[in-house]
Amino acid sequence: MSIIDIHIHLSDIESFRRTAIDLSSVDYTAAGLKAEFDKNGVVLGIGMGVTEQTKGAFPDSSSPNPMGLDLEPSVPPFLMECVGINPNRLTGEHALEELDKIEARLQAPEVAGIKLYAGYYHHFVYDKIYGPIYELAERYRVPVVIHTGDTYSMNGLLKYSHPLTVDELALQQRGVNFMICHLGDPWVMDAAEVVAKNPNVYADLSGLVVGDAAHFERFMNEPLFMDHFRRALVYSDHYEKMLFGTDWPLAPIGLYAEFVRRLVPDRFHEAVFYRNAFDVFPRIKQRIAVL
Ligand SMILES: [Zn+2]
């Protein structure tokens, strides 16, 4: 079965480098990612753009827009990019210039969407600071991908990353499709309801386990842990809006795929691991065609 991994990272972020070494034991390079993709039948990945100006600064309030995949000189052919947004530079002296740069980047064929780091940046997603971003998303017909749930940094603020905040946004912006990351974990029931209620909200199943084989073994064999996610998936009953992603380098691709296979009933595997991605990211079609 062909797989699309709609949530990976390939940016020079110190905490990702450390996680790859200390926790997940992956080779955090484009070559390392390609080797894992090939081994597991992953034909395309979508990288979430993010940058830091000084080592360890993520979430960096000084990063210029748009934030991209800067670990390698360019986006590798087996990847697409969601351009990361730093809302702190959408006001004041840089604002117009930065919006122009975001708009120019959205016209690149390898760009699949826009990524917001809710919680990492301290603004609600329905705040007017993001208004111009949603206008661009609608005009260029790209989805807005939103971090929800726990933040991978103690400097995040959870009230901004709670999945319920996306409900208000989805109602305000019915012309834009949204994908909430990590099923809002640990607020997975709230995320499931936001997906079920709003026709323009999807969710990814990435980043739910971070670590190596021993760590996966321990958690996949803990029924309470697995049932925490299964309950939300069963309640939502919208497998056509759930997408496979890993959050690599936070976890090895093969182990993560096995974890999601165990959460999702067999009959929905083809949709979750491959087909649903085309509904959220329309530009995948052209990218796949030239691979
Ligand atoms: Zn991520």
Predicted confidence at residue 93, as pLDDT, reads: 86
**Ion ligand 1 — residues with CB under 5 Å?**
247
Own/partner contacts of 133-141, CB < 8 Å, gap of 24 or more, are: 133/85, 133/90, 133/102, 134/173, 134/176, 136/99, 136/102, 136/103, 136/106, 137/113, 137/176, 138/173, 138/175, 138/176, 140/103, 140/106, 140/107, 141/282
- CB within 8 Å of 248: residues ≥ 6 apart: 5, 8, 9, 24, 26, 33, 36, 45, 256
Pairing of strands 111-116, 201-204: unpaired
Q: What separation in Å is there between the alpha carbon of 169 and the centre of ligand 1?
A: 21
78-104 residue pLDDT tens: 999 999 999 999 998 889 999 999 999
Please name which of 138, 146, 205, 195 lies closest in space to residue 167, comparing C-alpha atoms. Answer: 195
Tell me, yes or no, if the pTM score tops 0.85: yes
Evaluate whether 220 touches 262 at the Cβ level (below 8 Å).
Answer: yes
Q: What separation in Å is there between the alpha carbon of 246 and the centre of ligand 1?
A: 8
230-256 residue pLDDT tens: 999 999 999 999 999 999 999 999 999
Q: What separation in Å is there between the alpha carbon of 171 and the centre of ligand 1?
A: 25
Q: What separation in Å is there between the alpha carbon of 96 and the centre of ligand 1?
A: 27
Distances 66 to 11, 58, 90, 269 between C-alpha atoms, Å? 13, 15, 11, 33
